Amino acid sequence: MDTLVAQLQRQFRDYTISLYHQLFWYVKGFLDDQFTELKKLQDECSPDFVAEVVSLFFEDCEKLIGNMARALDQTGNVDFSLVGSSVHQLKGSSSSVGAKRVKGLCVTFKECCDSQNFEGCVRCLQQVDIEYKSLKAKLQDLFNLEQQIVQAGGRIPQVDI
Partner 1 sequence: MAVGEVMRMEVPTGGDLTVSSPDLHVLAVDDSIVDRKVIERLLRISSCKVTTVESGTRALQYLGLDGNTGASDLKDLKVNLIVTDYSMPGLTGYDLLKKIKESSTFREIPVVIMSSENILTRIEQCLKEGAEDFLLKPVKLADVKRIKQLIMRNEAEDHKTLSHSNKRKLGEDVDASPSSSSSSSSHDDSSVKDFPSSKRMKSESDIFSPFI
First to last CA, the chain: 27
The DSSP secondary structure of 109-149, one letter per residue, reads: HHHHHHTT-HHHHHHHHHHHHHHHHHHHHHHHHHHHHHHHH
Near partner 1 by CB under 8 A, which window of 54-62, 126-134, 136-144, 147-155? 54-62
User: Should residue 38 be labelled a site residue for partner 1 when binding is judged by CB under 8 A?
Assistant: yes
CA distance 23 to 21: 6
Amino acid at 117: N
Residues 83-122: x where in contact with partner 1 by CB under 8 A, - otherwise, as a string: -----xx-xxx-xxxx------------------------
Q: Binder to partner 1 among 12, 30, 57, 132 (CB under 8 A)?
A: 57
Binding site residues, partner 1, CB under 8 A: 34, 37-38, 40-41, 43, 46, 49, 52-53, 56-57, 60, 88-89, 91-93, 95-98
